[in-house]
Amino acid sequence: MPTVDLSPLRAQFPALALSDAGHPAIYFDGPGGTQVPQRVIDAMSGYLVHSNANTHGPFRTSQETVAVLAAAHQGMADFLNAPSPNEIAFGPNMTTLTFQLSRAIGRLLRPGDEIVITRLDHDANRAPWLALQEQGVLVREVDFNPRDCTLLIEGAARSAGQALGDLLGPRTRLVAVGFASNAVGTINPVRQIAEMAHAVGAWLWVDAVHYAPHGPIDVQELGCDFLVCSPYKFFGPHAGVLWARYPLLEEIRAYKVRPAGDLPPDKFETGTQSHEAQAGVLAAIEYLAELGEKYGSEYAAQFPGFQGRRLALKQAMATIQEYERPLFAAFVAGLSAIPGLRLYGIADPARFNQRTPTAAFRLAHRSPDEVAEHLARRGVYVWAGNFYAVSVTEQLDLETSGGVVRAGLVHYNTPEEVAYCLACLEELA
């Protein structure tokens, strides 16, 4: 069980105090979207009451709006350790940003150019690249090992399928990979993949949506070229964020209207953004920074060269990792003891540093929907299906039989909630 006690933080999340038909609400639906602390709600309503306007007017509300947006860009730059806030572009969500950028990147590609995607990814990191086939781009797909749901990385002589190393070549222009799988939790070796992509002159696009609430992200250390994430998965409001290296944002011609700014990030922030969401994202970043300052100072040495809010955010995510791992180990130990339960993905606790605390499982003689509905009646919120990671459930041959049950933990979940969820599952088994 976790050694660090983060339970005092729960009081900051009003939704965690709700109950459902007499049962306390238990949110194991984090991989689909997390709850928000009160300060996020206050920042959004405060913005709408006091500063609501469009940008670049001469009056107070407009000037305050510009300041809020600038602060939100800086907040995300700090979260990702991006060199500059001008490398951060907001959008409605990750999917829309990825389609927008894939279309713009497509302008630089020629027929016969190649893109590598993976079968472990959410469809939002597949469909935008597959769409470029319409203009003659070849899309190649990396397989994963169905036993532990890890990507095949090294090339040559792996009988289980196509490995990344086999698919890279002189025509590869871009590799698109998830930081972690939203279906089965596998964390991919992004640094290694970046080196392999760069060795053939390709760019690396990273979907960090599922990973972001679970561990530190440092775009400079990862060596990626683009990274997308969604603040509603890490305690903020519904929004999407793109980071890319500044010279790439300069080079790629955006689909934009003429009066919009020509420089990054403006050229990629199409139309009017959700200003209130950006106010909320900033508050979520501040919440995490405070968590890091209060609980995570012992991790400072792991992040040499970091200072101020950037250090606090790294400490926060290291603390969250430290809290989540034993909680998840207890959850998996309980799941493994349930008769007829089959867990997908990495199941060996010694390798839990290679996965997020997101459990995908099936219960014998019960459809995933039945399991999710049984838990919902007891106040435990989990998802059933494919969660848009449809190529994962297809490869595991589960797509036509309802996919899997997905129960994901985040740092506001507790050992008591885990025990209660396990008891509800045992009842059904």
Ligand X SMILES: Cc1ncc(COP(=O)(O)O)c(C=O)c1O
Give the residues lining the site for ligand X (CB under 6 A).
93-95, 122, 124-125, 178, 182, 207, 209-210, 230, 240
Cis peptide before 265 (omega within 30 of 0): yes
Question: Which lies closer to ligand X via its Cβ, residue 10 or residue 238?
Answer: 238
| Minimum CB distance to ligand X, residue 368 (Å) | 17
| Minimum CB distance to ligand X, residue 182 (Å) | 3
Question: Which lies closer to ligand X via its Cβ, residue 180 or residue 327?
Answer: 180
- Closest residue by Cα to residue 417 from 373, 381, 366, 363: 381
| Minimum CB distance to ligand X, residue 415 (Å) | 25
| Minimum CB distance to ligand X, residue 5 (Å) | 28
Question: Which lies closer to ligand X via its Cβ, residue 2 or residue 128?
Answer: 128
| Minimum CB distance to ligand X, residue 92 (Å) | 8
| Minimum CB distance to ligand X, residue 263 (Å) | 25
Question: Which lies closer to ligand X via its Cβ, residue 216 or residue 240?
Answer: 240
Distance CA 76, CA 8 (A): 25
Question: Which lies closer to ligand X via its Cβ, residue 90 or residue 299?
Answer: 90
Question: Which lies closer to ligand X via its Cβ, residue 55 or residue 93?
Answer: 93
Question: Which lies closer to ligand X via its Cβ, residue 227 or residue 283?
Answer: 227
| Minimum CB distance to ligand X, residue 225 (Å) | 17
Q: Kindly state the tokens that stand for 374.
A: 């049984």
CB < 8 Å & 24+ apart, contacts of 335-343: 335/359, 335/361, 335/422, 335/425, 338/363, 338/422, 338/425, 338/426, 338/429, 339/364, 339/429, 340/364, 340/365, 340/429, 341/425, 341/429
| Non-local CB neighbours of 62 within 8 Å, separated by 6+ positions | 53, 54, 55, 56
Question: Which lies closer to ligand X via its Cβ, residue 227 or residue 335?
Answer: 227
Question: Which lies closer to ligand X via its Cβ, residue 65 or residue 125?
Answer: 125
Give the number of other CB atoms < 10 A from CB of residue 129: 24
| Minimum CB distance to ligand X, residue 210 (Å) | 4
| Minimum CB distance to ligand X, residue 411 (Å) | 18
